[in-house]
Chain A
Amino acid sequence: MEITLNWYLTLSALLFTMGVLGFLFRRNVIIMLMSIELMLNSVNLTLVALSQSMGDSAGQVLVFFVMSVAAAEAAVGLALIIAIFRNKLTVDITKINLFKY
């Protein structure tokens, strides 16, 4: 059986959905951060597959930017999580509720 473009697109759509659901339903900030990384990486898979099938390099160029942005986001995100943990001694998103409405 030949692996066609649609297989890659379906796989990345599934991974993206898993990332979205993980972000929406998990309460631990670190797992939410991991879900975001999963979303970004599923997009990378889409971009690489499309780029390969079209024979166009623009998609793969964007993947490099996405990887560096994801690294920067992880660095900033973990730093913020440490800052909030020092203040509140928790990373449960339901307990981080100083501001409302």
Chain B
Amino acid sequence: MWGDMAATLSLVIVSLAGLALVVFDAFNNRHVATPWIAGLALLAGFIFEIVGLGGPEGTAYSDMLRTGGSAAFVNALVLGSGVLTVILSVPYLKKIGHNIGEVYALILFATVGMLVLGAANNLIAVFVGLETMSICLYILTGFVRSESGSAESALKYFLLGAFSTGFFLYGIALLYGATGTMDFSAMKAGVEDGGGVMFWGGVSLLLVGFLFKVSAAPFHMWTPDAYQGAPTPIAGFMATASKTAAFGALIIILYKALPTERWTDVLAVFAVITMVVGNIIALSQQNVKRMLAYSSIAHAGYVLVGLSSGLVEGYSGALFYLMVYVIMNIGAFGVVALLEWDGKEGSEQTLDSLAGVGYRKPLLGWAMVVFMFSLSGFPPLAGFLGKWAVFAPAVDAGLVWLAIIGVLASAVSAYYYLRVLVVMFMKTETEASSKLADSFTIPRSSAAVIVLCVILLFVFGLTTSVIELTDGFFQSGSVATVLGP
């Protein structure tokens, strides 16, 4: 047991810190140390996972969780996203007057759920992780409860999330009935038998649950509402960390538990619908947060392109894409969080209010240039390499049409990403936007996070060493379990 705890030290640190924070906050409400405790706990977990990257793969807690390998990578992304979210949240929550300690405890607990989900090796662990994460995120979305937008988005997110949990759970139950096990590696026997109605029914319900959590179309309806009403740094956290953890679990399930070529067509169809719906609806959005929400739907589609190839290169490319996606979106939401003025978490702010802000706040303007170009996939930024990493395996798998649709969808996306830059740099200032630019100075901590994201996008755009690392997760050792009898 102690060995298991040492192997999952990041999980132990973050959960203990979360519990400690609840108690600490009860006696020292709104204490200045609260975000520090949360941030340092997440940072400690992040360092632990980074040190363990590339180490040997193993399991912990009676095969319930995986350690090392892709689990360490996904956990590192989740924890890194958590650290940056805590740093961005402090000035934001002070500005809206809701800098309460519970937020940081909830971020820690949500991270615990994501760590369990990303490292799960068993359907029970997947369920527990998914729900720990989701319930914390429902509360985080709606914690500004006096604001009707925040409460409404949380209620919608909660209702649809709980509804999809029902499907997800029924899928688990049917899979359990068909295969007699909840363990990923043992479940593979069900695929090899060909499976019956119960098996494939369970698989499809499970897939629906996952597609909902990663906000793939046509299960994306909650995403724009939830992101628009949620406090902006929290929306960034939901968009990046929760999606990364859910995709991490989905990749491992496809790879270890249900390896079959049947996925190719099914996932390819969802990838096309998701890319088209996300990008087309994003074109008509006036609210920046809502536009970023639709863009995150489109990005889930790009990741699904990698998964639908059914090749290990596709899975490792998807993991790389998730890393790039986390960096781009934490940065973009960080910039948007600073440029809010309507006092309602930006839920009513339109694009016009950013007119000319790029010259008044050059740091935010130029950072936004990098994020928008990276999101639309321009070289030499990391967004380009990420798209290459997911589209190339699809071409190798013979899905040339899918890659072509993906590239066309990215071309469409350039319109709405670059429109933000046009408004920020080429429109003359209005009274509102000039007032906005005068109303604040950029906090040093937020500036540091944004600059860090910009630097990382350039670094990872020019080196393929991370792709080599993610490739290693799927070829060393565990490939034999897929190809073996």
Chain A residues in the interface with B (C-beta under 8 A)? 9, 16, 19-20, 23, 29, 32-33, 36, 39-40, 42-43, 46-47, 50-51, 54, 56, 58-59, 61-62, 65-66, 69, 72-73, 76-77, 80-81, 83-84, 86-88, 93, 96, 98-99, 101
CB pair A98 B170 closer than 8 Å? no
Stretch at the interface among B158-166, B188-196, B421-429, B451-459: B158-166
A33–B162 Cα distance when bound, in Å, is 9
Q: Is B100 part of the contact surface with A, judged by Cβ < 8 Å? A: no
Residue interface mask B220-247, A partner, CB < 8 A = 1: 0000110011000000000000000000
What are 9 A-B pairs at a CB distance below 8 A?
A36-B165, A43-B172, A47-B176, A69-B127, A76-B158, A80-B138, A96-B152, A96-B155, A98-B347
Q: Is B418 part of the contact surface with A, judged by Cβ < 8 Å? A: no
New A-B pairs, 16, CB < 8 Å, besides A47-B173, A80-B138? A16-B166, A39-B163, A43-B169, A43-B170, A46-B173, A59-B176, A62-B124, A66-B169, A69-B127, A72-B131, A73-B135, A83-B154, A87-B152, A93-B159, A96-B155, A98-B229
Q: Is B153 part of the contact surface with A, judged by Cβ < 8 Å? A: yes
Stretch at the interface among B46-54, B143-151, B358-366: B143-151
CB pair A88 B148 closer than 8 Å? yes
A2–B153 Cα distance when bound, in Å, is 49
Residue from the list A46, A50, A81 in contact with B155, Cβ < 8 A:
A81
CB pair B229 A83 closer than 8 Å? no
CB pair B166 A58 closer than 8 Å? no
A40–B165 Cα distance when bound, in Å, is 8
Interface of A is mostly: helix
CB pair B224 A99 closer than 8 Å? yes
Q: Is B128 part of the contact surface with A, judged by Cβ < 8 Å? A: yes
Q: Is B181 part of the contact surface with A, judged by Cβ < 8 Å? A: yes
A80–B146 Cα distance when bound, in Å, is 11
A98–B176 Cα distance when bound, in Å, is 41
A62–B124 Cα distance when bound, in Å, is 6
Residue interface mask B175-186, A partner, CB < 8 A = 1: 011001110000
Q: Sorted from nearest, which 7 A-B pairs have the closest CB atoms?
A: A39-B166, A87-B148, A83-B145, A50-B177, A46-B173, A83-B151, A99-B225
Which of B139, B170, B174, B229 is packed against the most chain A CB atoms within 10 Å? B170
Measured CB to CB, the closest approach of chain B to A42, in angstroms, equals 8
Residue from the list B139, B146, B166, B224 in contact with A40, Cβ < 8 A:
B166
Q: Is B281 part of the contact surface with A, judged by Cβ < 8 Å? A: yes
A53–B168 Cα distance when bound, in Å, is 22
Measured CB to CB, the closest approach of chain B to A82, in angstroms, equals 9
Residue from the list B139, B170, B229, B281 in contact with A39, Cβ < 8 A:
B170
A23–B158 Cα distance when bound, in Å, is 13
Q: Is B82 part of the contact surface with A, judged by Cβ < 8 Å? A: no
Measured CB to CB, the closest approach of chain B to A85, in angstroms, equals 9
Count of chain B residues with a beta carbon within 8 Å of a chain A beta carbon: 41
Knowing A46-B177, A98-B149, the reply to whether A84 touches B155 (Cβ < 8 A) is yes
Interface of B is mostly: helix
CB pair B166 A80 closer than 8 Å? no
Knowing A40-B166, A61-B124, the reply to whether A77 touches B158 (Cβ < 8 A) is yes
CB pair B135 A19 closer than 8 Å? no
CB pair A16 B128 closer than 8 Å? no
Knowing A36-B166, A73-B162, the reply to whether A29 touches B173 (Cβ < 8 A) is no
A59–B182 Cα distance when bound, in Å, is 8
A47–B123 Cα distance when bound, in Å, is 13
Q: Is B18 part of the contact surface with A, judged by Cβ < 8 Å? A: no
A72–B159 Cα distance when bound, in Å, is 14
Which of B138, B139, B151, B181 is packed against the most chain A CB atoms within 10 Å? B151
Q: Is B142 part of the contact surface with A, judged by Cβ < 8 Å? A: yes
Which of A29, A80, A87, A101 is packed against the most chain B CB atoms within 10 Å? A80
Specify which chain A residues have a CB less than 8 angstroms from the CB of B165 in the assembled complex.
36, 40, 69, 73
Specify which chain B residues have a CB less than 8 angstroms from the CB of A84 in the assembled complex.
148, 151-152, 155
A58–B186 Cα distance when bound, in Å, is 13
Closest to B166 in A: A39
A36–B152 Cα distance when bound, in Å, is 18
Measured CB to CB, the closest approach of chain B to A56, in angstroms, equals 6
Specify which chain A residues have a CB less than 8 angstroms from the CB of B123 in the assembled complex.
62
Knowing A29-B155, A58-B176, A65-B127, the reply to whether A76 touches B139 (Cβ < 8 A) is yes
Residue from the list B158, B176, B228 in contact with A80, Cβ < 8 A:
B158
A9–B177 Cα distance when bound, in Å, is 10
Specify which chain B residues have a CB less than 8 angstroms from the CB of A43 in the assembled complex.
166, 169-170, 172-173
Give the residues from 29 to 48 in chain B that come closer than 8 angstroms, CB to CB, to chain A: none
